[in-house]
Structure 1
C-alpha cells in the first residue's frame, strides 16, 4: 500500500490515543450504469421466493467464485470470453502479466449473455434458465446484470446510485448531493461533499464508488477505504489526505503540545520573530510567534497548521 501523505508536522505525533469519528455507508455490489442505458420494468431486482423450492435450491451456493455464489457465468461483451463474474474478468485482464495494451475492464452494463452452470445452456440475461429452469441467482438485478445466491447480504438496487448495494434498503438513504447511500443515522448529520465517492481512495487509489471493500466517511466528508484509514492511524497520520482536516479528536495532543512549548523557550534571536500560518482545521490565517515545536491557531486552538509566510 502507498504510504499515506505526510499530513502536517503536528499530526504524526507518537502516543496519540484519539478515537476515530468516521462514519460508514452502504457497500456497493455492482458499478454505476451509463446514463444512456435506461432502466426498464423487466430489469427490476428480484429476490426469488415464489418459484418451486426444489428448482430454486438446486445447486444453490455450490457454484460461483470468491466474489459471488451464483449458478451462471457471463460472456464478456468486450473479449467474448466466459468468466464467473465481472470481477473475475477484470482481475484476469488487468493482471500484471497481461500486456498493457490488452488490459481492459468489462463494460458490465453491456453483458447480454449468460451460461447456466448446471446445464451449460447459453442464453440472454435472465433469472431462470430457459433449458433446465434452475434459478441462476436468488437475487437478480437485470439493470446491473447481477446474480447472487447469498441473499443474507440483503441486496437492493438504488436508483439514485444506479447500482446494487447491500445492507437492506430500509437501513439506508440516498443523498443526491453526495450521490451515494448513507446509513439512516446520518440523514441529518453527515457533511455533504459533491460526488463524495466518485473518486479514487486517497491512499490506495482504487475507485471508491464501485469498490467491494468497506468505505468510511471522515468528519470532513471525504471518503476512504476503512482498511486504508486504519493503516493511516497505524502510521500516526490523523488528518484527511485531501483537505488535511483532523479526522479525530486531537484535543489531548494539543494539550501536550501546549506543555511542550511552555517547557521549550526559544533562543533570544527568535523571541520576537512572527510568522503567518493557515489552520487546516478552521481555515483561519493568523500571525503567531515562531516556535520550533509547532504553531497554534489562535481561533480554534489547533496545532494542525502550516506556515504560509515568514
Structure 2
C-alpha cells in the first residue's frame, strides 16, 4: 500500500496540489480497510488481496474528482464550484446575492429591478467543465462535487463547511452556526441562539423586516444579527456603529439596548452636585422608555429620572388624561 500511495501521488500530483491529494487520500483511507499513519499505509487484514489495491486506486481517483477545485471557485459571498441560471431573467450568476446586487441594488431602471427566488432555481453550470444541468451536488459530466455542503431544498452550494451550515425547515432557508446551537422561535419566526431560548422577548416576525439602521432586509442577510433586550433586531455592525456615536436606544422603541445602571448612577451624582436656579425649579411629566411608566418628576436640565425605575431614558409627555380631567373638575 505504501508503494500504491507513492504511485498514486506521482500520477495525480500534476493534476492537483499536495494538499488536495492528502485530502482525497485520507478521505478514502478513512472509509476503507487500510490504516493511514503519517502518510504511510498498513493493512489491518493480512489476507487483503492485491485486487484491493485496484479498488483503492479507483476510490482515490473518484475522491480526487470530487475534491478537485475545492475552495478555488465562487464569489465574494460563497466558495462553490458552480454558477446558477436565474429563472427570472435567464442570466448566469455566481450566486443569488450576485444576482440581487446586479438586478436589484445596482439596477437603475425600476421596471427591471427584481430579486431571485432561490427555491425556483432549476439549472446550475459546473465551474470546471461549464456543463449546464439540473440542480445536483455532483456534476453529471466531470464528476466534480460542486459544493461540499449542498441543500436540495433551497438549491444552495458552499465549499466552506467551517460555517456549520444547516437547513431550517421552518425558516425555509439554510443558516450557519450549527443546528445544535440554534432553535427556531415560532413567534419570532426565525432561528435564535439557544442561549436566548428562555430569556428573549418575543416580537412577531422580528427579523422579517429591514434593519432599522441600514435598511437592509435581515431575514436572509449574510451579516450577523443581534437581538436586543426589547426583542427587536438589527445588524451587529449597525449596533456597534450606534455605540460609537453614543446611541444606546433601540431605533424602534427607544428602550435601552444594554445595562445602563452605571450611567444612571453617574447622572445621579451630577444632578446632586448641580443646583438648579430657583426660577427653573418645576415639576414635569415624563414617559420612561425603559419601563413604560408615566410620572411627574422634578425638572433638571441634566435629565429627568423616571419615578418608577432608575432610568433617565425618559421623554416629556402630557399628564394622564384621567388626572387632567379630575383637575379640571376641581377647578
Query: Which residue in 2 is equivalent to 1:294?
Result: 303
Measure the CA separation in 1 of the matches of 2:286 and 2:108.
49
The equivalent of 2:318 in structure 1 is: 309
Any stretches of 5+ residues in structure 1 without a counterpart?
1-48
Deviation (angstroms), 1:230: 0.4
How far does the alpha carbon of each residue in 1:92-133 deviate from its partner, in whole angstroms, 9 at most, with x for none? Answer: 123546333322211221111111111111111111212222
Find out whether 1:179 has 2:179 as its counterpart: no
Aligned position for 2:79: 69
Matched, 1:92 2:102: yes
Structure 2 CA distance, aligned partners of 1:97 and 1:142?
Answer: 29
SS of 1:189's equivalent in the other structure is coil
State how 1:20-35 maps to structure 2 within 5 Å: none
The aligned residue for residue 285 of structure 1 is 294
TM-score if structure 2 supplies the norm length? 0.75
Cα gap change, 1:95 to 1:299, in 2 (>3 Å): closer
Give the CA deviation at 1:56: 1.5
Superposed CA RMSD: 1.8
Which has more helix, going by share of residues?
2
Where has structure 1 moved over 4 Å in runs of 4 or more? none
What is the Cα deviation at residue 296 of structure 1? 0.6
In structure 2, the partner of 1:212 is: 222
Alignment of 1:1-310 (within 5 A): 52-96=62-106, 98-271=108-281, 273-309=282-318
Q: Distance in 2 between matches of 1:94 and 1:119?
A: 29
The structural deviation recorded for 1:264 is 2.5
TM-score (norm 1): 0.80
Whether the 8 Å contact between 2:203 and 2:232 is mirrored in structure 1 is: yes
Which is bigger in relative contact order (C-alpha 8 A, separation at least 6)? 1
Q: Give the conservation status (yes or no) of the 8 Å contact 2:206–2:233.
A: yes
Which entry has the higher C-alpha Rg, 1 or 2? Answer: 2
Hey, what's the Cα distance between the residues in 2 that align with 1:173 and 1:95? Answer: 31
Q: Is the CA contact (8 Å cut-off) linking 2:107 and 2:113 kept in structure 1? A: no
